[in-house]
A and B are shown apart, each in its own frame.
Chain A
Amino acid sequence: MTTKIKIIINDKQIEVAEGSSIVDAAVCAGVIIPTLCFHKDLCVAGNCRVCVVEIAGQKRLSAACATPCEEGMEILTNSLKVRNARKQIIELLLSEHNADCTLCYKNGNCELQKLASDYKIMTQDFIQLAPLRKYQIDHYSPSMIKDDSKCIRCQRCVRTCAEIQGVSALTAAYKGDRMKIATFFEKPMNDVVCTNCGQCINHCPTGALVERNYIEEVWDALANKDKFVIVQTAPAVRVGLGEELGFEPGTRVTGKMVAALKRLGFDAVMDTDFSADLTIMEEGSELLMRLKKVLVDHDPNVKLPLATSCSPAWIKYIEHMYPDYLDHLSTCKSPQQMFGALVKTYYAKHFNLNPENIVSVSIMPCTAKKFEANRPEMHDSGYRDVDYVLTTRELAIMIKQAGIDFLKLDDRSFDQIMGASTGAGVIFGATGGVMEAALRTAYELVTGREVPFENLNIMPVRGMEGVREASILIENPLPDWSFLEGVELKCAVAHGLVNAKSLMDSIVSGESQYHFIEIMACPGGCLGGGGQPIPTNPEIRRKRALAIYAEDQGMPLRKSHQNPEILKIYSEFLTEPLSEVSHHLLHTHYTPRERF
């Protein structure tokens, strides 16, 4: 039981749990205290000082985010003293900030801009500091752009990179007026340990960290009559896009998204869920093959646990942090890259298109996908497999630019022949989804029976726990898989790289023995990805996850191996999982990297 204490906020007496911060307590009193450095995903920093409040009996003001309530505390959130101080702090922030709002990518979704608007900062008396500095914009990364002139030093990105991702590619450097957020030795973002996950972008209150956008490039392609522009959409996009366009978090907008893409002028609108199903076929087969090689052949070169390879930020992370463990990664490309490789081969052949004229675009909840599409390995079709990667946010921008009234759109369906999918493909968008989808297929492949979970819902791998474990006992397998009789298949799921680290460390130390692990770099999986709508917080991610599982539940087919287009592609093009064609187009290799 938590003890309750009585406090007074602006004359209103309320009871709150002992230890709650003044910011949280104010919410109970119906008072919103403005914040900037505070974020629900992160530890309290208390450094922007925008949330200062007056406590009776104290001369100094206190940061509401960092001050715990005490019995009998009398708090004023809007006294003259508070207002004057708060306004002056906002003025200070603006004086240091390159406030060219109309030229800023985050114009309209900037927390500092909102504060300036709320407090009607109409004059700038302080000396403008930003022009006095020589700021250089870092646009070396294929995924993101870092503009220090927009930075307000709230250190949300620093805390995100450390607490959520355990990477610390960004840290505070120097002191005093020179204090800034920097990489190791101020190297460019593409040259450091940064995984391109984009979580810093999602948590940045201003335009200091934004995705590198390819909106104009895609408009150009759409306008070019010689080009056949194909678009694929990732599972998590359909549960996030609505937030940018007037829907509540957790609204599924699959049909409207397809309709909007068609209106934008894409020649074919297809589904990454299709290649997610394909990934399951390949990766499930790879898992079973590895199990056989380890358990039957005792091949020392084959490594377990098998780790999923769908999350490009996770891939870059393991390349930096555990370069000796790259053999554990599935060789399967991510669904985006499988799709890309097939578009300019299988699809082109099927519709008799010249792959040279195909522009392959993907809509992803992710910024690391931009990096992934740019990797030198990703040219197996003979061309660049995926030409442009847009985030959910960029798609929303295009829809707004095109003047599409998204709310009024009628639902449309994906095009053929790479547009059909199953519920197993959809749940790739949530943490634990790849694991669940793989188990649904692999278990059935081995035993001929459905996974022993009600409604195919493998609940132990779902949820928002940082690391989750599950095991399935294999009994009475089909004759081909008799070596798996009695084997307890042990699995683990982690999301957020800080959790990936703890899982990996337990594997490296030998403390844990798993057969299969799923790792997603972002909190909540792709639905919490770095390319998803801003803001993000645990509540929003929970709603998006519910939407993902509702989408799965509503699908007529929920197992990847039932997808008719998957059966078709194997019979017409790939022959079978892990075939030579598959290996050429759908599998890849990895690169060890330095740890800074």
Chain B
Amino acid sequence: MTPGYDLKRVDFIFQTESDWKEILQKSLSRPPAELINELISSELKGRGGAGFPTGLKWKLAADELSPIKYIICNADEGEPGTFKDREILSKVPMKVLTAMAVCGFVIGSLEAYIYLRGEYFFLKPALNKAIQEFQATCHDLNFDFRIKLFMGAGAYICGEETALFESMEGKRGEPRNKPPYPTSFGYLGKPTVINNVETLAHTYTIFKYGAKRFYDLGVQYSRGSKLFSVSGDSPKPGIYELELGMSLLDFVHDFGDGDTKAVQVGGASGFLVPQKRFAETTIGFQGKLTGISLPTGGSMMLFNSSRSMYNVLDNYLEFFREESCGQCTPCRVGCQQLLNGIKAVKRGEKTGQYLDKLLRLTETMQYTAKCGLGQSVANSFSSIVENFREEMIY
């Protein structure tokens, strides 16, 4: 352990949900504007990875005049190395349902959906049962709020919010052009709030304890706690709720196996941080504190010295090549070129300099791809190639 080591465990999300009726009733009796302000002052940001301020999202949807609005819980948890939402929906589903209903109350919507990842089919019966119980309670409270379960079918891209809408509308899961944004033109063209499972669970905490308890955790720009899915070369993989703003070095001290070479933060679409940069890297959202601050959907993959970073990158790129929707050029063709390119370099068919061309390609992908998928392939590619160039070539 290094001096100054301070990794704070938090226990909000998996705390008992038995008080959900009370929280629901209490929240429904408050003015919607007050609930929005509570969220805004908590500075909660979306926990799916993109980090959009949740309070602002609800406010934008609330300000829309449409008589029909939708709420969607994005449970299409597909990012490699992420498995926290599954746990939330298994352990504390009532928190998520309550948060959805409060959102409905705030923005003026009576119809909500949970878009459940196809591979989480086994959660369906229990979730449906929870929904039934929940709706009965809503009914008793004279709040006719309906929640339906919608099963995904296994495409990673359908976790992208607009592709998710397309999928729900019975179309091919392809991202839409933005603007318009979901809060004004979402599912079926209606104003829609789409939140990650964990984000909703955090709003439950905020409605229960008030914004301050949440805000007091974390650091500037990155308030509150967050669930982390820890996997890879760690003696204790699993799901942990930790305070945001922690240094990666502290994290590795706690979770590493003593031989950690690099950590992939944020899954395949995130960044790889090599050992030499652990100390200067903090885990949080935008706004630099010391060194680099990395946003994350919560996936933390640890790699020790036995791992080939070439294989890691090859694996990610194979994933993206297959999971790109295939719609836009930079992503569809770019992913193929990156994968074929590193293979060719490895086989000696292209020189090491070809990697620079591929790095420029990822820059183009980042600037021009239609959605977050193609834009973020650059993250893992450039961070791996730049830090482990020799492993790519030899």
Residues of chain A touching chain B, judged by Cβ–Cβ distance below 8 Å, are 44-50, 52, 59-61, 63, 66-68, 81, 84-85, 88-89, 92-93, 95-96, 125-127, 129, 132, 152-153, 155, 171-172, 174-179
Q: How many Å from the CB of B371 to the closest CB on chain A?
A: 11
Can you spell out 18 A-B residue pairs with CB atoms less than 8 angstroms apart?
A46-B370, A47-B328, A49-B329, A60-B367, A84-B364, A85-B368, A88-B360, A89-B329, A89-B364, A95-B337, A96-B336, A127-B341, A176-B325, A176-B332, A177-B326, A179-B324, A179-B327, A179-B332
Task: Check B259 for interface membership: any CB of A closer than 8 A.
Answer: no
Q: How many Å from the CB of A37 to the closest CB on chain B?
A: 9
**Contact pick for A92, options B330, B366, B367, CB 8 Å:** B330
* Residues of chain B with a CB closer than 8 A to A175's CB: 155, 157, 322-326
CB pair B326–A59 under 8 Å, yes or no, is no
Q: How many Å from the CB of A529 to the closest CB on chain B?
A: 29
- Assuming A46-B370, A89-B368, A127-B344, what are 11 further A-B pairs, CB within 8 angstroms? A85-B364, A88-B364, A125-B357, A126-B337, A126-B341, A155-B327, A172-B326, A174-B326, A175-B323, A176-B320, A179-B332
Alpha-carbon distance between A152 and B174 when the two chains are bound, in angstroms: 17
* Residues of chain A with a CB closer than 8 A to B360's CB: 84, 88
* Residues of chain A with a CB closer than 8 A to B367's CB: 52, 59-61, 81, 85
CB pair B340–A129 under 8 Å, yes or no, is yes
Chain A residue nearest to B322 (CB atoms) is: A176
**Contact pick for A49, options B172, B324, B361, B368, CB 8 Å:** B368
Residues of chain B touching chain A, judged by Cβ–Cβ distance below 8 Å, are 155, 157, 172, 174, 177, 179, 320-330, 332-337, 340-341, 344, 354, 357, 360-361, 364, 366-370, 375
* Residues of chain A with a CB closer than 8 A to B366's CB: 60
**Contact pick for B321, options A48, A81, A176, CB 8 Å:** A176
* Residues of chain B with a CB closer than 8 A to A152's CB: 329
* Residues of chain B with a CB closer than 8 A to A129's CB: 333, 336-337, 340
* Residues of chain A with a CB closer than 8 A to B334's CB: 92
* Residues of chain B with a CB closer than 8 A to A92's CB: 329-330, 333-334, 337, 361
Given A88-B361, A89-B368, A177-B322: A47 touches B329 (CB 8 Å cut-off): yes
Chain B residue nearest to A171 (CB atoms) is: B172
**Contact pick for B177, options A60, A61, A63, CB 8 Å:** A63
* Residues of chain B with a CB closer than 8 A to A47's CB: 327-329, 370
Chain B residue nearest to A97 (CB atoms) is: B333
Alpha-carbon distance between A171 and B327 when the two chains are bound, in angstroms: 12
* Residues of chain B with a CB closer than 8 A to A66's CB: 177
* Residues of chain B with a CB closer than 8 A to A127's CB: 337, 340-341, 344
* Residues of chain A with a CB closer than 8 A to B332's CB: 96, 153, 176-177, 179
Q: How many Å from the CB of B246 to the closest CB on chain A?
A: 27
Chain B residue nearest to A173 (CB atoms) is: B172
* Residues of chain B with a CB closer than 8 A to A153's CB: 326-327, 329, 332
* Residues of chain A with a CB closer than 8 A to B179's CB: 67-68
* Residues of chain B with a CB closer than 8 A to A52's CB: 367-368
* Residues of chain B with a CB closer than 8 A to A155's CB: 327
Given A47-B370, A85-B368: A177 touches B321 (CB 8 Å cut-off): yes
Q: How many Å from the CB of B286 to the closest CB on chain A?
A: 12
Alpha-carbon distance between A457 and B71 when the two chains are bound, in angstroms: 56
* Residues of chain A with a CB closer than 8 A to B325's CB: 175-176, 179
Q: How many Å from the CB of A67 to the closest CB on chain B?
A: 8
Given A47-B328, A60-B375, A172-B172: A177 touches B335 (CB 8 Å cut-off): yes
Alpha-carbon distance between A153 and B324 when the two chains are bound, in angstroms: 13
**Chain B contact residues: helix, strand, loop or mixed:** helix
Q: How many Å from the CB of B341 to the closest CB on chain A?
A: 7
Alpha-carbon distance between A321 and B344 when the two chains are bound, in angstroms: 50
Q: How many Å from the CB of B317 to the closest CB on chain A?
A: 11
Alpha-carbon distance between A95 and B332 when the two chains are bound, in angstroms: 12
Q: How many Å from the CB of A48 to the closest CB on chain B?
A: 5
Alpha-carbon distance between A81 and B368 when the two chains are bound, in angstroms: 11
* Residues of chain B with a CB closer than 8 A to A132's CB: 340
* Residues of chain B with a CB closer than 8 A to A68's CB: 179
Alpha-carbon distance between A176 and B368 when the two chains are bound, in angstroms: 17
Q: How many Å from the CB of B184 to the closest CB on chain A?
A: 13
Chain A residue nearest to B326 (CB atoms) is: A179
Chain B residue nearest to A93 (CB atoms) is: B329
Chain A residue nearest to B341 (CB atoms) is: A127
Q: How many Å from the CB of B260 to the closest CB on chain A?
A: 31
Of B172, B340, B344, B364, which is in contact with the most chain A CB atoms at under 10 Å from its CB?
B364
CB pair A176–B323 under 8 Å, yes or no, is yes
Of B155, B333, B344, which is in contact with the most chain A CB atoms at under 10 Å from its CB?
B333
**Contact pick for A177, options B324, B327, B354, CB 8 Å:** B324
* Residues of chain A with a CB closer than 8 A to B330's CB: 49, 89, 92
Of A93, A96, A127, A155, which is in contact with the most chain B CB atoms at under 10 Å from its CB?
A127
CB pair A60–B329 under 8 Å, yes or no, is no
Chain B residue nearest to A154 (CB atoms) is: B329
Alpha-carbon distance between A95 and B361 when the two chains are bound, in angstroms: 13
* Residues of chain A with a CB closer than 8 A to B375's CB: 60
Alpha-carbon distance between A47 and B327 when the two chains are bound, in angstroms: 6
Alpha-carbon distance between A93 and B364 when the two chains are bound, in angstroms: 13
* Residues of chain A with a CB closer than 8 A to B341's CB: 126-127
Alpha-carbon distance between A292 and B109 when the two chains are bound, in angstroms: 59
Alpha-carbon distance between A66 and B335 when the two chains are bound, in angstroms: 23
* Residues of chain B with a CB closer than 8 A to A176's CB: 320-326, 332, 335
Alpha-carbon distance between A81 and B364 when the two chains are bound, in angstroms: 9
Return the 5 tightest CB-CB contacts between A and B, nearest first.
Answer: A179-B326, A66-B177, A92-B333, A176-B322, A46-B177
* Residues of chain B with a CB closer than 8 A to A63's CB: 177, 368, 370
Alpha-carbon distance between A61 and B370 when the two chains are bound, in angstroms: 10
CB pair A44–B177 under 8 Å, yes or no, is yes
Chain B residue nearest to A132 (CB atoms) is: B340
Of B320, B322, B336, B367, which is in contact with the most chain A CB atoms at under 10 Å from its CB?
B367
Given A175-B322, A176-B324: A96 touches B370 (CB 8 Å cut-off): no
Alpha-carbon distance between A68 and B328 when the two chains are bound, in angstroms: 19
Alpha-carbon distance between A152 and B340 when the two chains are bound, in angstroms: 19
Q: How many Å from the CB of A53 to the closest CB on chain B?
A: 10
* Residues of chain B with a CB closer than 8 A to A48's CB: 328-329
Alpha-carbon distance between A60 and B369 when the two chains are bound, in angstroms: 9
Q: How many Å from the CB of B158 to the closest CB on chain A?
A: 10
Alpha-carbon distance between A48 and B328 when the two chains are bound, in angstroms: 5
Alpha-carbon distance between A231 and B216 when the two chains are bound, in angstroms: 86
Alpha-carbon distance between A52 and B177 when the two chains are bound, in angstroms: 13
Q: How many Å from the CB of A57 to the closest CB on chain B?
A: 14
Chain A residue nearest to B177 (CB atoms) is: A66
* Residues of chain B with a CB closer than 8 A to A88's CB: 360-361, 364
* Residues of chain B with a CB closer than 8 A to A172's CB: 172, 174, 326-327
